Chain A
Amino acid sequence: MTSTTIATANAEAGRVRLRINRTHLAAIVLLVPAVVLFGVFVVLPILQALRFSFYDWNGYGSPSKFVGIENYIKVVSQRHFGTALRNTTFIALVSLLVQLPLALWLALSLYRNTWFTAFLRTVFFLPYMLAEIAAGLMWNFMYDGNYGLAHSLADAIGVEPKFVLADPAWVMPAIAVVLVWKYFGFHMMIYIAALQGIPNDMVEAARLDGAKPWQIVRHIKIPLIRSALAVTAFFAITGSLQLFDLIVPLTNGGPNNASLTIVGFLYQFGVTRMRIGFGSAVSIVLFAICVVVSIIYQRAARIVEK
């Protein structure tokens, strides 16, 4: 009798232990593939970039020539890096100050569901679906002074066609137009989703209280979608920080590196020349900017939530 109790107890204990082990085993099986891949291709490379940034290295053998912060000094004192920073800032400002207001205005006009608004929303979202390379090539044609829109416009008003993409003064505004064209629909969709989540009776109540349409927008709709506003601002800034694909088919960073972005600079002066140390230093600078932006975003988001 006693022995059977012990045996049962042992069996119970064994089962409990087995259960725990099996649970852990399951967790390991489920997590390992993602963790390994993430570790090998995301976490480790970022740590390696930090290490390489202190070496002068062409990628062959192992990095042995430690140069301290020399790469960073070279990056910061490179004239084109200044251009790249300025261009990236310009793109971020256009995204925030032109693209987002445009997207918000359209979202406020189009968030109700009718066939017409649904159709227009689809139209506005289309450019987001296209590959950056394809979008850039299409606009390269539009801007071509010999053939495209630029040609026809110049013809119509009887002046020599302007090649905006070849003009250092005009190239960034021209690229900004393409950027707005490509991405405003994405931000608009986020706003529309948020606006559709506003309870209708709130708007209705305000209307019955005699609030004017713009007052409803200002005091009800915008405050209620503030987290969507924060998210799109974050996307706009991080998107600007990594802008590269769209510029390659338009100017490839030219003329004379006038349209380089941070990633363009990294590609041009780090990757194509296999200057691992220098390029890694650029990566780390970009990484640091990303960190600062996300910290600011989290602070701001916390304030917004309150």
Chain B
Amino acid sequence: MSATTTEKRQVPVSIGELAGILFVAAFVLLPIYVTVVGGFKTIGELRTNPFGLPGSWSLSNFASIIGGGQFPVMLGNSLIVSTVTVALTVLLSSMAAFAMVHIRFFGRTHLAALFTVGLLFPVATAILPVFLTLRDINLLNSLWGVILPQVAFGLAFAILLFRSFFAELPKELIEAALMDRCGYLGIYWFIVMPLSLPIIATVGVFTFITSWNSYLLPLVTLSSESQYTWPLGMQQFQGAYSTDWPKLLALLTLTLAPAIGFFLLAQRYIIAGLTGGAVKG
């Protein structure tokens, strides 16, 4: 986006407006700031001085979390769940969207409509039957029991984004490939997918955030600590050490850091997703 001179000539923000904006910025940053500095403090220091900088930047809270057995395991579980969820969601939704957009078959509009309807329903509406299904197919307390429903519930949104992207691809491209006797599977894999990297990134980033942060499904599915994901671990930690705020704040800081880093890296694709995935190139 070019900041043209006309834009610069437009009325700048008034003082009152600027004050309001800065107030909101303070409102947003205060809890984050307090969390980050709080992790370095002792409990007594936290009580007398929650907002100032810590007297000494003690790393012991962080060290005990990173070194303590359970959190590395939970981090690993979350990474597995999120990565596999992203890979499966991207693969399955792009395959289905490609077929719906470029192959003529009976009932394709109905199928597309069915998936669109799926957008409207949160996983909570189906949580009990999902639990029973997982129990019946022996996937309770396994990471697959989190991954598969997550992928299923993520498909609707992902298919929508892929469909609008694929519809914009030039038809001649597909027709030319068909003339060259390239089958649809080949077209999908060798022609369409390499052209779709921006939308793959957008779908991937959104799926990753949703999966990484999700709580209800792992809560219902996973029962043993060795299978816990990061959010489950955090919540359980609060239950166990509700008064040890410094350690909890240190844990939260360790949660914040990668989220912020990830956002800064993936910002472009996140914003693309918010504008309806209408990014090209």
Cα-based distance from A213 to B13 in the complex (angstroms): 11
The CB with the most chain A CB atoms within 10 A, among B30, B156, B231, is that of: B231
Map CB proximity to B onto A37-67 as digits: 1 under 8 Å, 0 otherwise: 1101111111011001000000100000000
Q: Does B176 interact with chain A (Cβ within 8 Å)?
A: no
User: Who on chain A is nearest to B108 by CB?
Assistant: A27
Question: B189 to chain A: closest CB distance in Å?
Answer: 10
Chain A residues with Cβ under 8 A from B152's Cβ?
Answer: 37-38, 40-42
Residue among B132, B159, B185 making CB contact with A59, cutoff 8 Å? B132
Question: A62 to chain B: closest CB distance in Å?
Answer: 11
B 6-35 contacts with A by CB, 8 A: 6-7, 10-11, 13, 17, 20-21, 24-25, 27-32, 34-35
Query: Which one of A76-84, A124-132, A167-175 is at the B interface?
Result: A124-132
Query: Which one of A3-11, A90-98, A141-149 is at the B interface?
Result: A141-149
Chain B residues with Cβ under 8 A from A40's Cβ?
Answer: 133, 148, 152
Q: Does A253 interact with chain B (Cβ within 8 Å)?
A: no
Dominant secondary structure of chain A at its interface with chain B: helix
Q: Are A134 and B98 in touch, CB under 8 angstroms?
A: no
User: Who on chain B is nearest to A294 by CB?
Assistant: B120
Q: Does A300 interact with chain B (Cβ within 8 Å)?
A: no
Query: Which one of B60-68, B122-130, B196-204 is at the A interface?
Result: B122-130
List, sorted by A's number, 27 A–B pairs whose CB atoms are closer than 8 Å.
A30-B98, A30-B184, A34-B92, A34-B115, A40-B152, A41-B152, A45-B128, A45-B133, A48-B126, A49-B128, A109-B21, A112-B3, A126-B263, A129-B209, A131-B215, A134-B231, A141-B245, A147-B46, A149-B34, A193-B274, A238-B120, A241-B122, A245-B213, A249-B235, A263-B124, A276-B128, A283-B128
Residues on B lying within 8 angstroms of A by beta carbon are 1, 3-4, 6-7, 10-11, 13, 17, 20-21, 24-25, 27-32, 34-35, 38, 46-47, 50-51, 91-93, 95-96, 98-100, 103, 105, 111, 114-115, 118, 120-122, 124-133, 135, 148-149, 151-153, 155-156, 159, 183-185, 188, 209, 212-216, 220, 230-231, 234-235, 238, 245, 248-249, 252, 255-256, 259-260, 262-264, 267, 270-271, 274-275
